[in-house]
């Protein structure tokens, strides 16, 4: 796992821009603490920071080869992992390619030399990379199918900037951070962002499963992968067996590393299955036991309050699962003071507005994991793929023509000042995004009723909330030099389960039936029976009171960049109605984006236009 940056410009000589490139590259230092490299040509400059995971001595970047009649450079900077790199290396060697390292970086470079930009079709993994092909005078950017690894870009006439994180672009003098009024609904609720959308003017994220080619004639972004709907012909027994076979192969592939590995274990169905498979594999190889980690908050014994999305505490289930599996378990217990002290670090890691305590606690969890390992497995995407969230099972929410996960929860944008609210029309902005995604859903001819509607609902989840979770996971883990791999994001698993009809996904009448049926023999009964519980948050009244005091100060501060954005009376009304819902823990959770957006705009000098 690494951090990459770059700049292509056909109107200037970038060979003289080492200082600018170095500043961009240095912003990725936390993503890649082990090595650094840059490459400059007349029209392209590439930078790389490395976190060594496979072939610790080899794999130096930027990686350079020669191609074309004049043997011009082909230069790669790459972040992530290609899990099938060994098979690809064998195939490429049979085609005459010679390798000098054991790294997947060299495989990616030679795959491009052999197949061009279509090499991405052959990769199984999480990745974002850039290739400068001098003979074609073309920059190629690519991102994995699900969007596990980030890649941002800013295009301008004659040129383009890109980076693994926005900070790599922020440091460039050509970029000015500006939020337009129409982007405010997304700024205050990132789960509304369409694929590729950010709240900043001109800043885009390369969409998952897409390639961008940039040359003198401009840029062209296009998909190389899409979900395809087709009839599912397997019966339930075959489907369950296939899910198990896929998961066993995926976890085995994602354990390949030359550094210590671990797993996040909340005691829920997804993480316990993943940990069971990883622990068995490492133990069979004589590398066990697996180290597992869970986060909890001091004071939860008295402060915890159940919500529909978080009905129970994780810690007791995580302990139980660890004892059952035989892992070496670590409990990361956080005090409110720990969370508040680490907040500035988490904000710097995020670049875009932070999620407050949810970012910070995850950052501290990953920091603890990094003390034991360099690679960790995490269970993101299982709920989106297999149907685990409560809203999937509430027919009233499912049938509504809107995003089910927002339900009847209050929207912070409803508290915009009256004139701003009339101009921005946040309800229309939300519905427009909903209709845009609805039009993209790959339909199955002849499918109707609940199966057809659930295909839509699951598509929305894969394109909205999942991107939000993967972004948080990437930022908080890479800020401590930890590579987090996500087995449930393997595209083969997603492609297969996508076409399993909802009545089979819900075969035993409960959430994530396919996973429960596939792994009933390796899990404790308590895990099998446990309802979905989301990533935990602190319920400490002192923390919530601190958040509310900070928000009150912002709303009354004429120097705040958000001055005039909100109507205090409407905020008061939201506070009274913003008690726990499926979406929010409490009022401080609902209003938290005010605090985080204010801090972000001040820190990065973001203007509102």
* Average pLDDT of the chain, as a whole number: 93
Q: Can you tell me the distance from the alpha carbon of 204 to that of 220, in angstroms, rounded to the nearest whole number?
A: 13
pLDDT at 51 over 90: no
Q: With bands split at pLDDT 50, 70 and 90, how would you rate the model's confidence at 464?
A: confident
pLDDT at 521 over 70: yes
Tens of pLDDT, residue by residue over 359-393, are 999 999 999 999 999 999 999 999 999 999 988 99
Q: What is the pLDDT of residue 309?
A: 78
Single out the residue of 402, 476, 480 nearest to residue 435, CA to CA: 402
User: β-pairing, 152-156 with 159-163?
Assistant: antiparallel
Q: What is the pLDDT of residue 56?
A: 65
Q: With bands split at pLDDT 50, 70 and 90, how would you rate the model's confidence at 54?
A: low
Q: Can you tell me the distance from the alpha carbon of 553 to that of 341, in angstroms, rounded to the nearest whole number?
A: 19
Contact 21, 45 (CB under 8 A): yes
Single out the residue of 125, 141, 67 nearest to residue 253, CA to CA: 125
pLDDT at 194 over 70: yes
2 in catalytic set = yes
Q: Could you tell me which residue, 43 or 103, shows the higher pLDDT?
A: 43
Q: What is the pLDDT of residue 536?
A: 86
Q: What is the pLDDT of residue 333?
A: 96
pLDDT at 321 over 90: yes
Q: Can you tell me the distance from the alpha carbon of 310 to that of 203, in angstroms, rounded to the nearest whole number?
A: 34
- What percent of the chain is modeled with pLDDT above 70? 97
Question: Which two tokens mark 531?
Answer: 């309802």
Contact 218, 157 (CB under 8 A): no
pLDDT at 217 over 70: yes
Which residue ranges does the chain devote to CATH 3.40.50.620? 236-387+467-529
Q: Looking up tokens 């009024």, which residue turns up?
A: 181
- 530's CB contacts (< 8 A; 6+ apart) are 267, 268, 269, 312, 317
- 423's CB contacts (< 8 A; 6+ apart) are 181
Q: Can you tell me the distance from the alpha carbon of 483 to that of 259, in angstroms, rounded to the nearest whole number?
A: 11
Q: Which of 148-162, 324-338, 536-550, 588-602 has the lowest mean pLDDT?
A: 536-550
Helix, strand, coil percent content, the chain, rounded in steps of 5: 45, 20, 35
Q: Can you tell me the distance from the alpha carbon of 43 to that of 493, in angstroms, rounded to the nearest whole number?
A: 40
Q: What is the largest CA-CA distance in the chain?
A: 72
Q: What is the pLDDT of residue 588?
A: 83
Q: Could you tell me which residue, 228 or 69, shows the higher pLDDT?
A: 228
Which residue ranges does the chain devote to CATH 3.60.20.10? 2-223
Among the listed residues 1, 2, 240, 467, the single catalytic one is 2
CATH of 236-387+467-529, one of 3.30.70.120, 3.40.50.620, 3.30.450.20, 3.50.50.60: 3.40.50.620
When pLDDT is averaged across residues 393-405 and rounded to a whole number, the result is: 90
When pLDDT is averaged across residues 386-415 and rounded to a whole number, the result is: 89
Domain covering 2-223 in this structure, CATH number = 3.60.20.10
């Amino acid at each position: 796992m690494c951090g990459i940056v770059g700049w292509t410009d056909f109107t200037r000589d970038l060979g003289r821009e080492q200082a600018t490139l170095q500043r961009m590259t240095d912003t990725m230092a936390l993503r890649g603490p082990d090595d650094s490299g840059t490459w400059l040509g007349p029209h392209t400059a590439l930078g790389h920071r490395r976190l060594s995971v496979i072939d610790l001595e080899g794999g130096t970047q930027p990686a350079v080869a020669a191609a074309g009649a004049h043997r011009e450079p082909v230069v790669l900077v790459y972040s992530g992992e290609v899990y099938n790199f060994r098979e690809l290396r064998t195939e490429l060697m049979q085609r005459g390619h010679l390798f000098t390292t054991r790294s997947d970086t060299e495989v990616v470079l030679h795959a491009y030399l052999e197949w061009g930009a279509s090499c991405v079709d052959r990769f199984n993994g999480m990745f974002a990379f850039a290739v400068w092909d001098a003979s074609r005078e073309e920059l190629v950017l690519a991102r994995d199918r699900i969007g596990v690894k980030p890649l941002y870009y800013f295009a301008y006439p004659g040129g383009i900037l890109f980076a693994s994180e926005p900070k790599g672009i922020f440091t460039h003098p050509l970029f000015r951070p500006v939020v337009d009024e129409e982007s405010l609904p997304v700024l205050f609720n990132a789960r509304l962002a369409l694929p590729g959308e950010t709240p900043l003017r001109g800043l885009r994220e390369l969409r998952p499963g897409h390639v961008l080619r940039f040359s003198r004639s401009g840029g062209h972004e296009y998909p190389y992968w899409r979900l395809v709907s087709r009839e599912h012909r397997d019966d339930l027994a075959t489907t369950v067996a296939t899910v198990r076979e896929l998961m066993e192969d995926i976890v085995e592939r994602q354990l390949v590393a030359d550094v210590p590995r671990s797993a996040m274990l909340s005691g829920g169905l997804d993480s316990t299955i993943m940990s069971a498979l990883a622990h068995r594999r490492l133990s069979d190889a004589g590398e066990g036991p697996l180290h597992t980690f869970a986060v909890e908050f001091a004071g939860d014994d008295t402060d915890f309050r159940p919500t529909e999305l978080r009905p129970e505490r994780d810690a007791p289930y995580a302990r139980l699962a660890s004892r059952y599996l035989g892992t070496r378990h670590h409990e990361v217990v956080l005090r409110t003071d720990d969370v508040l002290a680490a907040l500035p670090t988490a904000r710097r890691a995020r670049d875009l507005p932070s999620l407050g305590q949810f970012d910070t606690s995850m950052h501290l969890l990953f920091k603890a994991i990094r003390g034991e390992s360099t690679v960790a497995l995490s269970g993101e995407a299982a709920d989106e793929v297999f149907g685990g969230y409560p809203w999937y099972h509430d027919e009233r929410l499912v049938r509504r023509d809107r995003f089910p996960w927002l339900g009847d929860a209050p929207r912070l944008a409803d508290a915009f000042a009256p004139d701003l609210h009339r101009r921005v029309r946040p309800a229309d902005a939300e519905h427009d995004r909903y209709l845009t995604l609805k039009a993209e859903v790959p339909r199955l001819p002849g499918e109707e009723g609940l199966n057809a509607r659930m295909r839509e609902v699951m598509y929305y989840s894969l394109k909205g909330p999942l991107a939000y979770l993967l972004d948080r996971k990437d930022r908080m883990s890479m800020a401590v030099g930890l590579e987090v791999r996500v087995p449930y994001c393997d595209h083969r698993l997603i492609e297969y389960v996508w076409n399993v009809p909802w009545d089979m996904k819900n075969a035993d009448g409960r959430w994530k039936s396919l996973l429960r049926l596939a792994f009933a023999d390796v899990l404790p009964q308590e895990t099998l029976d446990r309802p979905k519980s989301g990533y935990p948050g602190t319920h400490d009244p002192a923390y919530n009171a601190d958040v509310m005091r900070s928000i009150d100060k912002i709303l009354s501060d004429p120097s705040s960049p958000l001055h005039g954005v909100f109507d205090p009376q409407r905020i008061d009304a939201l506070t009274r109605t913003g008690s726990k819902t499926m979406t929010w823990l409490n009022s401080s959770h609902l209003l938290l984006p005010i605090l985080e957006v204010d801090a972000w705009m001040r820190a990065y000098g973001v203007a509102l236009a």
